Amino acid sequence: MELLQNAPDWSTYIVMPIIFAVICGLGFAMVSRRAGMAAFLIVATLALANTYTRFKPAFSEADIAELNRDLPADMGGVTLKRVTFSDRTLSYHLSVPGHADENLMTAIRRNAVPYACKKLGRLFRTKRLEQVVYVFNDGERPNGSQITASDCL
User: Which residues, in sequence order, are bridge partners of residue 92?
Assistant: 83, 134
| H helix or E strand, kind and range, residue 135 | strand 131-137
Q: Residue 124: which of 101, 150, 86 has the closest Cα?
A: 150
Domain spans, the chain: 3-54, 61-152
- By the 8 A CB rule, do 133 and 88 touch? no
Confidence (pLDDT) at 141:
67
Confidence (pLDDT) at 89:
76
Confidence (pLDDT) at 11:
63
Confidence (pLDDT) at 137:
73
Beta carbons within 8 Å of 129's beta carbon, 6+ residues apart: 88, 89, 90, 120, 123, 149
| pLDDT averaged per 10 residues, the chain (length 153) | 48 74 83 82 80 60 79 71 74 74 72 76 71 75 74 73
Confidence (pLDDT) at 120:
74
Confidence (pLDDT) at 5:
47
Confidence (pLDDT) at 58:
59
Cα Rg, the chain, nearest whole Å: 21
Confidence (pLDDT) at 3:
45
Confidence (pLDDT) at 2:
44
Judged by DSSP in three states, 8 sits in helix
Architecture of the 61-152 domain: 2-Layer Sandwich (3.30)
Rounded to whole angstroms, the maximal C-alpha distance in the chain is 72
Confidence (pLDDT) at 53:
58
Dihedral over Cα of 7, 10, 14, 15: its sign: positive
Confidence (pLDDT) at 100:
64
Is pTM beyond 0.75? Reply is no
